[in-house]
Amino acid sequence: MALLNILQYPDPRLHKVAKPVAEVDDRIRKLVADMAETMYDAPGIGLAATQVDVHEQVIVMDLSETRDELRVFINPEILWRSDEQKTYEEGCLSVPGVYDEVQRAERVRVRALDEKGERFEIDADDLLAVCIQHEMDHLKGRVFVEYLSPLKRNRIKQKMKKLERQPA
């Protein structure tokens, strides 16, 4: 396994739309393992392949306190969203140190493939629903800060560019 480099907003590669995975094979399973290791190390609760500059529809997440309940979503699609909306404070590994409120569907039903290539459906609510929608946005080339006002988004962009210029 290997730690992958997480792209930082406003990197234009974060806006690439991910393509469906043609076949869940050893290459995809290695990507899943590397993404999981990267997410845990960051530390975060979700990571989309787009964030590590792989433009295929792969998401990993783990919302457990014990960090031992990895969920994998390959070629995820939202089958249904509730009309009820909920506002959550979101953060993102690609926008470190930035948190803001985003409104999303309170509940979703998702169909995807797991790391074995087996199809499954899941009904998600609360944080899981938020996380799924957040990570699926990455696969569509969208970062959560794009839900914010242009003024907030511009401030975040300036902050991230300033951090980028600072020596490590």
Residue 161, pLDDT above cutoff 90: no
- Partners of 46 in the beta sheet? 61
The domain in which residue 89 lies consists of: 12-165
C-alpha 92/C-alpha 12 separation (Å) is: 16
What's the chain's average pLDDT? 96
Instruction: Answer yes or no: is 7 within a domain.
Output: no
Number of alpha carbons in the 13 Å side-chain half-sphere of residue 18 = 28
Instruction: Answer yes or no: is 4 within a domain.
Output: no
Residue pair 134/101 in contact (Cβ under 8 Å)? The answer is no
pTM of the model: 0.95
Question: For position 18, what pLDDT does the model report?
Answer: 98
C-alpha 34/C-alpha 120 separation (Å) is: 22
Instruction: Answer yes or no: is 39 within a domain.
Output: yes
Question: For position 166, what pLDDT does the model report?
Answer: 75
CA 98, 124, 78, 47 dihedral sign is positive
Question: For position 150, what pLDDT does the model report?
Answer: 95
For the annotated binding site for Fe cation, the residues are 92, 134, 138
Q: Which residues are the active-site residues?
A: 135
- CATH code for the domain in which residue 125 is found: 3.90.45.10
Which of the 8 DSSP states describes residue 19? B
- Looking at the structure of the chain, the number of domains it has is 1
Question: Considering all CA atoms of the chain, what is the largest pairwise distance in Å, rounded to the nearest integer?
Answer: 46
Instruction: Answer yes or no: is 59 within a domain.
Output: yes
C-alpha 14/C-alpha 98 separation (Å) is: 16
Question: What pairing do the DSSP bridges indicate for beta strands 119-125 and 107-113?
Answer: antiparallel
Q: pLDDT tens digits for 53-67? A: 999 999 999 999 999
Helix (H, G, I), strand (E, B) or coil at 137: helix
Q: Looking at residues 74-86, what average pLDDT do you find?
A: 97
Instruction: Answer yes or no: is 100 within a domain.
Output: yes
